[in-house]
Structure 1
Amino acid sequence: MPKVIVSGLSVSIDGFAAGPQQSLHDPLGIRGLELHEWFFENKQNPAMTGATAISAQVDERVAQRAMDGFGSFVLGRNMFGPNRGEWGDDSWKGWWGDDPPWRAPTFILTHFPRPPIEMEGGTTFYFVTTGIFEALERAKKAAGAKNVKIGGGVSTVRQYVKAGLVDELQLSISPTFLGQGESLFPGLDFPALGFSIVERAIGAHAMHITLSKNC
């Protein structure tokens, strides 16, 4: 049965999943890129030996799983871009250029309507003004037999988890303290929401844990 999954979400030791003051210069907020070293390090320095190579393979496997097998995606407005309010001239089409990595129907939560945008590689952005439930229903229909990924940002993930709409969370705990930013955990009682840790693995640059709803 298809699932609703949060995957590849990086979190600092002190619980921040994004840095403060997101901007065009800092898409992940100030110092937010540090949370994703486990993802980018393997791309930049693939040659490793011994135990480090094994740990790097863990990070690589998690990075691949974070994007594979999804039939649609749901993103918050902040995940799509730094601009706020009305869309203006509609020139902004996301952080990712003409060929975004999603390559499936992608539903953007927003208060401001905008026509769909067809991109290269199979991505079409749909802008949903009617809330998280409507966006998820549309994403499920678009995904068919495949899973739906709640792709962030932090506020979007928190809303879906609090509403009991997420089946599985795959978190990557990065060995860094941000001190400030967007916190993931306050007010989220994962055991009370029915989650338990079902998988854990230590990578070269992060500890990866999977939380799943109890059967």
Structure 2
Amino acid sequence: MTKVRVAGFSISLDGFGAGPEQSLENPLGKGGMELHRWFRGTRSFRAMIGQGGGSDGLDERYAHRAMDGFGAFILGRNMFGPVRGPWPDESWKGWWGNNPPYHTPTYVLTHHRRDPIEMEGGTTFIFVTEGIEAALDQAKRAAGGRDVKIGGGVSTVRQYLRAGLIDELHFALSPVVLGQGEAMFAGIDLPSLGFRVTEHQATEHATHIVLAR
């Protein structure tokens, strides 16, 4: 049965999933890249960017799980790129170059219509203007029985949480404080949504916490 999951989502000790002042130069905001130190050293990440090597420990196991078993992804528009408002042209095709790491249909939430983009490696970006539930319905159909990943950013995860549409959450709590940025948990009561901690394991670079309903 298809589950809707958040996996490998890095947050700071003070609960921010991205730093302030996101831009083309700082897509995760100022200081945001520090949240992902646990991931960038893994074998899975290095393979994703076409390089060999990388760690094989606990961080790698969670990194692998964060990208494995998904038949579709859902991204907020900010996760797709820095362009705001109506699409000025068709030139922006994501942060990842010609071969994005998704390799499945990937649904982008937006208020502005755009035709799908077929990329190398099996990724097709599909732009959904009808809201989060419409995107999830399409993603579940496309997933073919595999899971659907809510890839972020923070606002997108929060919308799906508030709507009660997420089954499992994996947060990588990084030993970093940002002070400001995009707060993941403000106004969200995870126990009242039915979530309980089912796993927690620590490494040098993160504490991995899985919550499920």
Contact 2:11 2:174 in 1 (8 A): yes
Which 4+ runs in 1 deviate beyond 3 A? none
Residue 204 of structure 1: how far off its partner (Å): 2.1
Provide the residue aligned with 1:199 in structure 2: 199
TM-score with structure 2 setting the length: 0.94
Q: Are 1:162 and 2:152 counterparts? A: no
> What CA deviation, in whole Å up to 9, does each residue of 1:38-90 have, x standing for no partner?
0113458x68xxxxx8xx61111111111011000000000000110011111
Provide the residue aligned with 2:85 in structure 1: 85
Provide the residue aligned with 1:103 in structure 2: 103
Which aligned pairs between 1:115-130 and structure 2 lie closer than 5 A? 115-130=115-130
Which aligned pairs between 1:45-64 and structure 2 lie closer than 5 A? 57-64=57-64
1:92 is paired with a residue whose SS is coil
Cα distance in 2 for partners of 1:64, 1:21 equals 30
Q: CA RMSD in A?
A: 1.5
In the alignment, residue 108 of structure 1 is paired with which amino acid? V
Which aligned pairs between 1:171-182 and structure 2 lie closer than 5 A? 171-182=171-182
Unaligned runs of 5+ in 1: 48-52
Cα distance in 1 for partners of 2:10, 2:113 equals 30
Residue 144 of structure 1: how far off its partner (Å): 1.3
Cα distance in 2 for partners of 1:57, 1:77 equals 33
Provide the residue aligned with 1:19 in structure 2: 19
TM-score with structure 1 setting the length: 0.93
In the alignment, residue 128 of structure 2 is paired with which amino acid? V
1:30 is paired with a residue whose SS is coil
Aligned residues: 206
